[in-house]
Structures are given as C-alpha cells and as structure tokens.
Structure 1
Amino acid sequence: MSIPKQTSKRRSTTWSVSLVAVALAAAACRPAPTSGARQPAPDFALQTPAGKTLKLADLRGKVVLIDFWATYCGPCKDSVPELERLYRDKKAEGFEVLGISEDSFVDAVPPFLAEHKMTYTVLLDLEQAAGEAYALRGLPQAFLLDREGRILDRWFGWEPGNAAAMRAAVERALKAP
C-alpha cells in the first residue's frame, strides 16, 4: 500500500516543524553564549552577614566572579568547592569571588558558610534586588567581570564542565591588559 504524495508531504512538513520546535526549545535551555559586546555589570551595594556594606564598584581593577546562589539549591552546594579552589588559586593575581545569597532569611546563611568553609566574600541579597538587576533565570548563575566591571561571560546552572570553563575564562581575564 502506498502513501499518497500529499499525506507524505504533510508528514514531512510536520516532522520538520517539530524538529525546529525541539531545536529551539533545546537552545533556550542552554547557557546563552557570551556576546562580543561587553555590557557594564549592574552596580549594587549589599551587606555581608557581618553587616559590612560592599559596592561592586569598589572592586574596579580586579577580575570578579559574581555567583548567585542559595542555601537550598543543590547545584549551588556542588559549585562551592570549585569556586573556593579557584578563588584560593587566583586571589593573589587580582581575582575576587562574590557569592551573592538569594536566601530570604539571613539566619540560614552563616551555618552554610561555616559548613562549606567559604572564604570568599559573601553578600546578602535579601530582597533580591541584585538578582533582579542581573535578570536571574535560576540558581546558581554566575557572571565573570573584567577589570572595568564589564560582563565577559556567564554560566547558568552548574555542570561538571563549568569548573574548567570558569578557570579558563578567569585566566584569560587576568592576562588581559
């Protein structure tokens, strides 16, 4: 039994449209590639758990990795050892990590810091104003800034390959004039 040409064409068109839709949906779920234009990072002033205020602008001249996270986020917990290792390895070269907690309750943060032995700067975004300024699409989400405070790269979520990609991006940024 043969399939009429019109039915065959319709199936082919349906499959083509379906494949395009799946490809677009998959692309939307992947990290956005870094654009060639280095956009200025939104400035913010947030407090540490100890009450000290830090402004992003105060770190001009350093390469900065901003990591938005929360104590309840499993992938965020997985990223901490790698971020800590990267920070310890590169801080003497002018590299800073800012871990911005998106937790609504400040009491959850200090025990988390102690448990995970975090030595990089942690800031509290209790009202999620910084997260909103960076248009977060979930946690964790990280942004790498150059010495002028422009966004060089970004990562959405945490996967095993992120550590190597972040390290390579940080090393390139540190070598840049």
Structure 2
Amino acid sequence: MLRFVFCLLLCSSTSFAASNPPKVEFKAITAEPLSKNSLTFVDLKGKVVIVDFWASWCEPCKEALPHYNKLYEKYKNQGVVFIGINEDDDLKERDAFLKAHPISFPVFFDKEKQMAKDFQVVALPTLFVFDKKLKPVILYRGFDDKKPQVLEKGIQDLLKAQK
C-alpha cells in the first residue's frame, strides 16, 4: 500500500529549472553497486551527472528507464554519467526486473534508503541533473512522454555551457 501511495504522489510531473534548483548536495555514492559497470564518486568530477531514483514496482519508473538507457548510450562518451539508484524492498522483484529489462548505466541499491534521504526524495521516479561542478540544476519528479526530450535539451545545454 505504501508503494502505491508513493507512486501516486508523482502523477503530476514536476520539474524545476536552473533558476530554482533543488537544495541537495551530492557528496558521495552511499548505495551498493548492482552492476558491473560501477563507478565511484571521484569518477563524477567534471561530468554532467544524472541520478535517477527508481523501483521495479513503479510504473512511471519502468516507462522512463528505456529512455534513460538511450540517452546514456548517446551521451556516455561526451562527459555525461547516468546513475540509477534502486529503492526496491523486494529484491527478487528487482532482480527479475533487471534481468528482463537490462539497464546499461551503473545501478546502485539504496538498501538503507540513505541516498533517498540525502536527496530528499519524496516520490518515484525522481531524477536529478548536476552540472560539471556537481551543483544540482534540474529536478524531475514523475515521468511523461515529453521528459526525454526536455532532459536531452538540458544535457545539451549543460555540455555547451561548460566547455
């Protein structure tokens, strides 16, 4: 039931542009790696970083992940890093989802929910975009079919602005 309410919170998609960035500070990756292509916090320096909080039971999350995979593949060699932070409690459900729907970018498991707490995540999916100085510039809650294009434009703008 809690999962259902959590997912309902995001029915109205919310985004905040750079003029009103989220008030979070990205200091570490405290979740445990789930993927072979893991990375460390040091790997993020000087890159545009996208952090996506998701769960396998969250329908908008499942809809968003293939789009994020495509953007990752397109921009991974241009200084853009995607990080998935999984918030599942049912590990069998999560593992089955990941097996059926592989994610190309590094995925971490937020077992203790510390990253969700640090990032003040109140709904899933929640996606943060950080500039090359790891300053938060964009926050998206929820997902709709326009979000991939808006996110890609944001990525392109950050890459151009910070050359």
TM range (shorter): 0.7 to 0.9
* 8 Å contact kept, 1:69–1:99: yes
1:110 pairs with 2:89: no
1:163 pairs with 2:148: yes
Instruction: Give the SS at the match of 2:53.
Output: strand
Q: What TM-score, normalized by structure 2, do the two folds share? A: 0.81
Higher normalized contact order (CA 8 Å, seq sep 6+, divided by chain length): 2
User: Number of residues paired by the alignment?
Assistant: 149
* 8 Å contact kept, 1:60–1:148: yes
* 8 Å contact kept, 2:37–2:105: no
Amino acid across the alignment from 2:19: G
Structure 2: state its 5+ residue gaps.
Answer: 1-11
Deviation at 1:108, TM superposition (A): 3.2
> 2:35, 2:144 → 1: CA distance?
31
CA spacing shift, 1:32–1:83, aligned 2, 3 Å:
closer
**Bigger-Rg structure (1/2):** 1
Deviation at 1:30, TM superposition (A): 5.5
> 1:83, 1:30 → 2: CA distance?
17
Q: What TM-score, normalized by structure 1, do the two folds share? A: 0.75
Structure 1: state its 5+ residue gaps.
Answer: 1-28
Output the aligned Cα RMSD. 2.3
Identify the match of residue 44 of structure 2 among 48, 59, 64: 59
Q: Provide the identity percentage.
A: 26
Residue equivalent to 1:46: 31
What do the CA deviations read for 1:134-163 (whole angstroms, capped 9, x no partner)? 111200000001111110101010011111
Residue equivalent to 2:17: 34
Instruction: Give the SS at the match of 2:31.
Output: strand
CA spacing shift, 1:51–1:120, aligned 2, 3 Å:
closer
Amino acid across the alignment from 1:66: V
Residue equivalent to 1:125: 110
